[in-house]
Structure 1
């Protein structure tokens, strides 16, 4: 009987501990940045964020295909289409770029164009 009471008490304590820990935590300090996250002034990055940005850009450069590798994998016609589409996007003609990709049957390329142009 005592063992059962101790076991149920321990179980209740284990179940209450996460909730009690959350209740005791203080809210994050709001220093004027968005969302109350204490990271400093707007537009500034921490050293960790800056390092991650540099590493991800470096990895992107290392892993990108050369034009020759792209032609070997996708064929010269698709690479030429991608170049024409990119020129239209750079000129701000996103609708024309999407229409060109759709006309060529490149559904995924058209989707990527929509995502890219939405961000601009």
Structure 2
């Protein structure tokens, strides 16, 4: 499967029922809110949670990129190969490898403050 095809369908969010994912009308039960104040509050909570999840996922991508590019690996990948695999530009892959190396130096886990 190519990277382009993979991007057409977002990853299923594990905590949303599969039936709701298939139904475009439903998104984390936000459609049930009649009160716009409650809708704003809940949708804002979700937006913040998704941003935090995206940030953490990006950090995991960076860690994986750094590990794949590690010169100590006999099967290490070049920035170009990592870029192709992830659907990035080569320049972005180099920056992600550097970011991942920084994270690994700081303990090898994504930051808890995101």
TM-score by length of 2: 0.29
Which protein shows a greater Rg?
1
The structure with the largest helix share of the pair is 1
TM-score by length of 1: 0.28
Task: Tell me which of the two structures has the higher relative contact order, counting C-alpha pairs closer than 8 angstroms and 6 or more residues apart.
Answer: 2
